[in-house]
Amino acid sequence: NAGVTQTPKFRVLKTGQSMTLLCAQDMNHEYMYWYRQDPGMGLRLIHYSVGEGTTAKGEVPDGYNVSRLKKQNFLLGLESAAPSQTSVYFCASRHPPTGTEAFFGQGTRLTVV
């Protein structure tokens, strides 16, 4: 049982390049979330999805886009990477209303130079 898997684990981008982070969960969870964590800080919500085909903006959505074409996958895209997007990105999933735990991926460390 893999749980939540993030791909890739590490990435270095040049300013202006684009990339997509993949989050895959095998628990049939409805809700999925993307966060960023900057050094010494908490997790800030970028975008989230409450079901296949739906997405919504979180606290810090600018510069990011997301898609949830399949229930098990939640993609986070950076169209034109900026150094300010250097961060650790976490994906999480949860199954309401009975879910008492949000499951996290292992994180993706992204550096934009």
Residues found near another protein in the complex (CB under 8 A): 31, 33, 35, 41-45, 48, 50, 58-59, 88, 90, 92, 94, 96-97, 100-104, 106-107
Minimum CB distance to another protein smaller for 14 or for 42: 42
Which of 30, 32, 50, 51 has the alpha carbon at shortest distance from 89? Answer: 32
Q: How many whole angstroms separate alpha carbon 34 and alpha carbon 46?
A: 6
What is the nearest approach in angstroms of another protein to the Cβ of residue 18? 25
Nearer to another protein, 14 or 62 (CB): 62
Residue (47 or 81) nearer to another protein, CB = 47
CB atoms within 10 A of CB 101: 9
